[in-house]
Amino acid sequence: MKVRVKKELIDGILSYSRDMHPREIILLLRGKAGNDIEVNEVVMPPGAIQGLGFSGFQPHMLPFDLSIVGVVHSHPSGSSSPSVHDLNHPYGRITMIAAYPYRSVDDVTILGKGGQMLPFEVVAQ
């Protein structure tokens, strides 16, 4: 399985993470999921809580939407490893983590449902 993410999306997530720091951000990832996953858009989840040391949303408030491929949240601690909570509560097929200092794609990690690191490609379009 390959994951492709638009460059402007990564840049947007990194700058939003910087703006919100030290709060933790959470956004839904929207795109196409087949054998490969394409991430094209981010959406603010309903009932989003973006706090100090935690973030979350209300999954029951989500419309049934097959275009949601996963969730991105930030780690203001700077750790790129998933927390126990991240591993136990995946939502969608991929979990993206943007770790402090949110400088570049090197600060971004994508995990699959089992918590395994997924290689991903940043695409211009």
Instruction: Give the footprint of Zn ion on this chain (CB under 5 A).
Output: 83, 86
**Nearer to Zn ion among residue 38 and residue 86 (C-beta):** 86
Cβ atoms of residues 28 and 69 within 8 Å? no
CB of 35 to Zn ion, least distance (A): 27
What is the closest distance, in whole angstroms, from the C-beta atom of residue 52 to Zn ion in the complex?
14
Instruction: Report how far residue 45's alpha carbon sits from residue 26's, in angstroms, rounded to the nearest whole number.
Output: 8
Distance CA 53, CA 25 (A): 10
3 versus 71: smaller Cβ distance to Zn ion: 71
Which alpha helices (DSSP H) does 1-125 contain, by range?
7-20, 84-88
- Comparing every residue's Cβ against Zn ion, the nearest one is 86
Measured from the CB atom, the residue of 83 and 123 that comes closer to Zn ion is 83
